[in-house]
Amino acid sequence: MDISKFRQFGKKIICIGRNYKALAAEQGNPIPKSPIVFFKPTTSYITPGDDIKIPPGCKEFFHEVELGVVIGSGGKNVSEDEAMDLVAGYSCCLDMTCWDFQCAAKADGQPWALAKGFDTACPVGDFISKDKVKDLSDVRIWLKIDGTTKQDSSTSDMIFTVPKIISYLSQYFTLEPGDLILTGSPAGAGPVASGETIEAGLEVNGETVSTIKYPVK
């Protein structure tokens, strides 16, 4: 498991919320006018062989499979045309979420840090080099729990494309090599319980480019 491209720098995990049309509809949210941005601490990283751990007090623990974009060269105020030059590669990632904590925080206008940033909240997969994914516009992204499909969608449903996200973020945050950008969850984000096992993957033109497997404890 080569995560050197993540932890070697381990600068930022920047997450985009509500970036798939079908999930926004499913969760009763309006289509955002600009990307919804939040962070996960690098202490939330786990790699294959580790267990996802449900934080104390969480009663609604949700899975979200996401396309992770690994930044290879830094930049600030990058245009959409230049954005992909910053990308080193990708990874199949999970944005594990304490949904009950998140709903309470949203209702009270509070930040999502506890809902999204706890230890083990960012399981990642192998690093996929950029040349393995020639076209980002239609990458199949799926997730199963104990073999039952829960999420199965495509990046074609994204509201903001990867170049748009990179360009937008670079206006506010200097992007650095090793940064990871989680680009949002497709429809089907939902509960997972202790004792169940999550499998997820990315597929390009019918070829699997990455799969991950994580037990939930």
Ligand X SMILES: O=C(O)/C=C/C(=O)CC(=O)C(=O)O
210 binds ligand X (CB under 6 A): no
Residues in region 181-200 near Mg ion by CB under 5 A: 185
112 binds Mg ion (CB under 5 A): no
* Phi, psi angles (nearest 5°) of residue 50: -90, 165
95 binds Mg ion (CB under 5 A): yes
Q: Are strands 180-182 and 13-17 parallel, antiparallel or unpaired?
A: parallel
Sheet bearing 87-94, strands edge to edge: 36-40, 13-17, 180-182, 65-71, 87-94, 128-129
- For residue 144, the cross-strand partners are 149, 199
Residue type, 17: G
Nearer to Mg ion, 155 or 185 (CB): 185
Residues in region 42-71 near ligand X by CB under 6 A: 64
120 binds Mg ion (CB under 5 A): no
102 binds Mg ion (CB under 5 A): no
Using CB under 6 A, which of 11, 18, 144, 150 touches ligand X? 18
Nearer to ligand X, 15 or 92 (CB): 15
Radius of gyration of the chain (CA): 16
From 15-23, 126-134, 170-178, 191-199, span contacting ligand X (CB under 6 A): 15-23
Using CB under 5 A, which of 64, 75, 141, 188 touches Mg ion? 64
Q: Are strands 140-145 and 148-154 parallel, antiparallel or unpaired?
A: antiparallel
User: Residue 26 burial (CB < 10 Å; 0-12/13-18/19+)?
Assistant: middle
Using CB under 6 A, which of 97, 120, 151, 170 touches ligand X? 97
Q: Which residues bind ligand X (CB under 6 A)?
A: 15, 17-19, 23, 27, 29, 64, 95, 97, 184-185
